[in-house]
Structure formats: C-alpha cells, structure tokens
Structure 1
Amino acid sequence: MRLDTPTLFLMTVVVTFMVGVLFLLSWGQARRTRALAIWGVAHLGGAGASALLCLRNTIPDSLSVGLGNAMMLGAYGLIWSGVRAFEGRKPAYLMALSGGALWAMACLVPAFYGSLAMRIMLASAVAGLFCALCAAEIWRGRHEPLASRWSAIVLMAAYALLYWVRVPLAALAPLPAATRSQDSPWLAVLCFAGVLFTVAIAFVFMALTKERAELKQRLAAETDSLTGLANRRAFVGRTQAHLAGRTRPVALILFDLDYFKAINDTYGHAVGDGVLVAFGHAANAVLPKGALLGRMGGEEFACVLVGGDAEDATRAAEQVRATIGRIALAAYPRLRIRVSAGVAATRPGETGCFDDLMRRADSALYGAKDAGRDRVVTAAAMPEALAA
C-alpha cells in the first residue's frame, strides 16, 4: 500500500493541532501544571510547521523549507522544555529554540540549502536530540512512582531512534537529484510515524499529569497536615503491611510528649504546635534509616522499625528522648520538652497483628509515665499465644 505524503501531512496538521488544543484545555483546568501550557504551545507550533511543509511547492521555499523546519525543531525544543517543567526544573526556552535558530542559520549557506541529504541529516539529528533529552529528563525523575513514566521513557527514546536512523540513511541512500522530497517513501513513513507518536505522546503525557495529581491527593490524605509525617491511617496501614509480609522482626515505638497540655496552657497553642513540629523534625533526624515515623494524634507519635529487635528500638527511642531533651528555645527559656516512650517488638518467625503490638507498646508507654516520665520502657517479649 502506498502512503500519500500530502494526505499524511494534512492529517499531521489536524492531529497535532487537536493535541495542542487538548493540552491547553487541560492546562485551563490545572493552571499550576505549567508543562501542559508549554506542550500545548509546542504542538500548535508543530501544527503550523506541518502546514507550511504541506504547502511545499505552493508557497516559497523560504517559508516551507526554511521557516517550516525551524518551527518544527522549535516545537520539539518546547516539548523538551515542557518535560523539564513537569519534572520541576526550570524550562530552558532559549536552548529549546536553539535548534530552530541553528536550522535558520544553516539555510543561509547555499551548499547546505541545496543539499536535501544535509537538510535531512541536520533536522533529524536535532529533533532526535530533543526527543532523547525528553527521555533523559523523565528518567531523572524516576524516583517519583508514576505508572506511565517508563512508557514515556521508551516512547521518547524510540522517537529519537527513529529520527537518528534517518541520518545515516540520508548519507548512504540519498534520493536521486530529480526526485522531489515529497515523493520520498521515507518522508511518508516519517509522517505516518509522527502522527502515531503525536497521539501516543498526548496520551502518555496526559496520563503522567493525571497520575501525579492522584499521587498528590493520596499523599495529602496520608499526611498529617501539621507535622508532615504519616497520619494515623497511613501509619497503621504501612505497619500492617510490614507485619503481614515480614520475614524479619518488627519493632514499634510509641512516643508521648510529657506535660504537653501544660505547654499549651502556658505558652498557647501556636507554641504547642511548634513543639509538635520540632519533635517530628528532631526525631526523624536521629531515627535509623528506613524508620517510619507517624503522628497518631494529639501529642502521641509512633515509629516502626523493620528488621530491628527490641534492643535496637530501645536504643533508637533513647536517642530520640535525649535529642528532644536538649531542645532549647531562646524566646522561651523556661520551656522544656520531654518525651516518654514505650517499645514492643516481635521475634523472627512470629506472626501477630498491629493491635497486639500496639497494645504492648502502649502498656510499656504507660509504664514509662507511671515511672516518672522522660524515660523509655520496653515491653516483655510477645506471648507464645500470639505465635502462629
């Protein structure tokens, strides 16, 4: 089946324009996601570039070949800038437009402008470079768990490879001098592939923005608004997951700030909130790597250590207690912050539920309170009745 290049160009114009409008409409509903606006402008520019290329031999070559390709390369650069914005980096607009500027300057050289092979090689190299840079930017943000991230990386890398394959082909299999560029089968294939990639990019980039919005909502629902720690719901869920699938011991520490009501009554709730925030920051700074700290409510916090036994948890709790005791506020010289802690832990091979571990840690915490506060008490080993 023979692909009709003019028809494919027209389809490219229509599809790219619609994708650009879709991005801008999405940005209108999510103004904080600047990447959507950049992608929208890039695709509208790409649609304009495709329209100029489609009119080759109808309008002057300076517009179709010169301006059209410069706009197309600028559109690819803007897509890359949009990816940078999506990943939280500053868009590089000047760098994005440098590909189009390079093309415009090269077209001023008669030897370059008169060689179809050289034009194909430069345009393909620059477009492929921007696609590869998009893949690299998305790869750099792989720490963010978005399901469509790997699809985007593969898609942009494949698009870069498609362009770069044209570079050696243009040199090794150039078109006959009498052949019009529109009659090139490679141009038809590239147009068809461009339409497919444009649609795929739209779906994947839209999916990325949607997944990020959902992730932020989920994190907000699992985060204590004051301290930024995991809230009770999130902490319990994660701890239960560790207990259900564990092969290593799990230790739980319950912290309770001593005389916190007196702090609120004496200094006000603003200072009390500051104490809660300070505890969260200080405790996180000294707890072992991988420890999960959460706020259970009020002045009570909890920490789970996976792979740590009761002795490890007791040492960690003592370090937190000592660190909190050294906090001094110049504005409130008489304010002292103290914390009591209760520790409970499982043993390797034991199974139990969160409620059992919580009950034992809570009992140990009450023991610390009854013994005079500002201390750490460890619960006895889990009873055999709780073992599987």
Structure 2
Amino acid sequence: MQLDPATLLVVSAATTFLVGTLFMASWRQAPDSPVLAYWGAAHLLGAVGSTGLALRNQIPDLVSVALANAVVLAAYGLIWSGVRSFEHREPRAGVAMAGALGWCVLCLIPAFNGSIEARIVYASAVAALYCGGATAEIWRGRAERLASRFAAATILALHGAFYLVRIPATLLAPPQPGLSPLASPWVAILCFITLMFSIASAFTFMALVKERAEREQRIAASTDALTGVRNRRAFATAAEDAMRAHRDAALLLFDLDRFKAVNDRYGHGVGDAVLVGFCAMATTLLPREALLGRMGGEEFACLLPGVSPAEALARAEELRQTFAQLKVPELPALRVSVSIGIAQARPGIAFEALMQRADAALYAAKNGGRDRISVADPAAIRAA
C-alpha cells in the first residue's frame, strides 16, 4: 500500500498541532512549568511548517520551501530549549533560532537555494544537532532519577539518528531531476517518523513533567522546610532501613542549648539562622552515609551506620566543639552550644528503643550542665 506524501504531511501536521495544543493546555494549568510552553510552541510551529511543506507546488516556493523549513528548524530549536529549561538550564533562545536564521541566510544564495541536496543536508544536519543536543541534556540530568528519562533520551536520539542517516543517503542517491520533491520516498518516511515522534514525545515529555512533580512532592513531604534535612517521619523510616542493613550503628541526639533564650533575645530570624547553621555544619562534618533529621524545635538526630562506639563519640565531639565556635560578627554576644546523647545499636534492638536510650543520654547531658556529651553505655566505648 502506498500513501500520498502530501497526505501524510497533512496528517503529521494535524497530529503535531494536537500535541502542541495539549502541551499548551497543560501549561495553562501549570504555569510554573515553562518547559510545557516551549514544547507546545515547538509542536505548533512544527505543525505550521509541515502544512507549508504539504502545499508545495500550490503556493510560492518562498513560503513552501524557505519559510516552511525555517519554521520547522525553529521548532527543533525550541524542543532543545525546552529540554534545557526542564533541566534547569538557560534556554538560550538565540542558539535555538540559529538554525532557522542560518537557513534563511543561505536561501538568499542562489546556488544553495537551487540545490535540493544542499537544502536537505543542511536541514537534516541542523535537526540532528538539536535532537542530539536535547538527548545530551536529558542524559546529563540522569542524577535525578525519573522513570521516563531514558525513554525520552532514546526517542530524541533515534529521531536525530534518522536525520543523520538521511544526509549520506541524499548524497549517495540524490533526488531525480524534474520530479516533485514530495514524490521522494524519503518524504513519506520523514512524515511517518515525525508522526511517531510527535506522539511518543507527547507521552514521554508529559510523563517527565509529572514524574518530577511527584518526586518534588515526595521530597517536600519528607523534608523539614526550614533546614532542608529530613523531617521526623522520614528520618525514622530511613534510620530503620539503615539499621536493618548494618550490624553496627550509633544514634546521636542533639539539643541546642538555651535556644528559647536566643529566640527571646535576638528574635526568631536569628533563631532560625542558628538552626540552619547547625544543619549546614553537621552536613559538612558528617560522613556521606550519615542520616540527619530534625525531630522538632531545636532537637536533631543523626544515625551513623557502620561505626564503632569510639568513632561515634569522636564524631559527636567534633560537632560539639565546632558548633560552640560559631560566631556572628554582627552579634558578638551570641553564644551557642549543643548537648548530645549517644546510644549504640545492638543486635535486635528496635529503632524506638534506640531512640529512648539516646534520649535518656541526652537528658543526662543537659542535666550535667549542657554543652557536653553523654553516652548511654560508656562501657562499650571503654571496651572499644
């Protein structure tokens, strides 16, 4: 069965237009996601360009060749910009429009404008570059684990690969003189590939935006809004998992000394800054595998997986001394300190029981004069 390339172009344009409209409608519902606007504009431009190409020989070549192809190349540039926006990078509109502007300039040169091979090679190269660039941007962001990221990168890479293959194919088997460009089998293939790309990109790009929103919601639900560390529930869950994976673990409970007095004297803004400063300091000094969480108010907890009692005590002492040295030049009278309770996990002990032992040690540290460390089982450290 043979399909008329012009008909395929119209179908491809209609599908791309619907996809662009879908992106724009989604952007209206989520205006804080500009990536949807980029992708929507790209598909709408692609639909306009495809319509112009389908009207070849029915409208002036200035529109169906020069302008239509420029619009299509601009659409690929916007797809690349949209991917950069999704990855929180500058969209760089100038680079996105460079391919289309280069096309317009070259079309002013008679030798280029009269050579269908040169036009195909240039347009294919630009489209491949934008698709390849978008693929690279998606891949660079793989540290953010999104289920549809690999699918999106694959779709963009395959689409770019098609344009790369088209370049040597055109040079080895140039279009026959005198035949309408729409009669080339490559046009039918291009229409089919573009149609599949529009549909696949709609699913994958929408899925990426949805997956990121869900991920951010999960992070927000498990993160303390002020300090950025885990909240109580998230810390308890992570600590329980870590205790199951490691035989040795130590739990450190922190309580910032006389914190209410800091709030009363300097205000809650300074008090919040002290909390944030403590977490920043702890995150810097603690090992990467350590789990840090805010239990509430000025109380924090840290689970150190796979450490001995002596190492846990050394880590706690480093934190205590460093925090006590915190100075704010604008508030020379401000003094801060922290009391710490330590409990070492034992085989079979539940997290809540470990918390109770660490809490008792913290209570002892505060009763002992504050700015000190108390260990739930001192004998374990002497033995170590």
Q: TM-score range by the shorter chain?
A: over 0.9
- 2:146 is matched with which residue? 146
TM-score in terms of structure 2 length: 0.94
- 2:276 is matched with which residue? 277
Cα 1:205–1:250 shift into 2, 3 Å: same
Please state if 1:376 is matched with 2:373: yes
CA distance in 2, matches of 1:294, 1:382: 27
CA distance in 1, matches of 2:47, 2:34: 20
- 1:366 is matched with which residue? 363
- 1:311 is matched with which residue? 310
Aligned identity (percent) is 52
CA distance in 2, matches of 1:268, 1:38: 45
Cα 1:115–1:270 shift into 2, 3 Å: closer
CA distance in 2, matches of 1:305, 1:160: 47
Greater CA drift, 355-364 or 141-150 = 355-364
Q: Which blocks of at least 5 consecutive residues in structure 2 are unaligned?
A: none
- 1:122 is matched with which residue? 122
Give 1:75 deviation, angstroms. 0.6
Please state if 1:209 is matched with 2:209: yes
2:120 alignment partner AA:
I
Give 1:132 deviation, angstroms. 0.5
Give 1:178 deviation, angstroms. 3.0
Please state if 1:339 is matched with 2:338: yes
Q: Which secondary structure state, in structure 1, belongs to the residue aligned with residue 335 of structure 2?
A: coil
Write out aligned runs for 1:1-388 (5 A): 1-244=1-244, 246-247=245-246, 249-346=248-345, 350-380=347-377
Q: Which segments of structure 1 move beyond 4 Å, counting only runs of 4 or more?
A: none
CA distance in 2, matches of 1:382, 1:44: 72
Q: Deviations over 1:342-374 (max 9, x none)?
A: 122336xx3443113212222222232233221
The count of residues paired between Structure 1 and Structure 2 equals 380
CA contact (8 A) 1:43 1:75 kept: yes
Give 1:260 deviation, angstroms. 2.0
Q: Deviations over 1:84-113 (max 9, x none)?
A: 111111111111111111112222222322
Give 1:320 deviation, angstroms. 1.0
CA distance in 1, matches of 2:306, 2:173: 62
CA contact (8 A) 1:35 1:83 kept: yes
CA RMSD of aligned residues (A): 1.9
- 1:386 is matched with which residue? none
CA contact (8 A) 1:252 1:358 kept: yes
Q: Which secondary structure state, in structure 2, belongs to the residue aligned with residue 36 of structure 1?
A: helix
Q: Which secondary structure state, in structure 2, belongs to the residue aligned with residue 176 of structure 1?
A: coil
Q: Deviations over 1:211-264 (max 9, x none)?
A: 1111111111111122121110111111112123x1453222111112223333
Q: Which blocks of at least 5 consecutive residues in structure 1 are unaligned?
A: 384-388
CA distance in 1, matches of 2:262, 2:106: 72
CA distance in 1, matches of 2:178, 2:6: 19
2:75 alignment partner AA:
A
CA contact (8 A) 2:246 2:305 kept: no
Give 1:197 deviation, angstroms. 0.6
CA contact (8 A) 1:346 1:382 kept: no
CA distance in 2, matches of 1:307, 1:195: 54
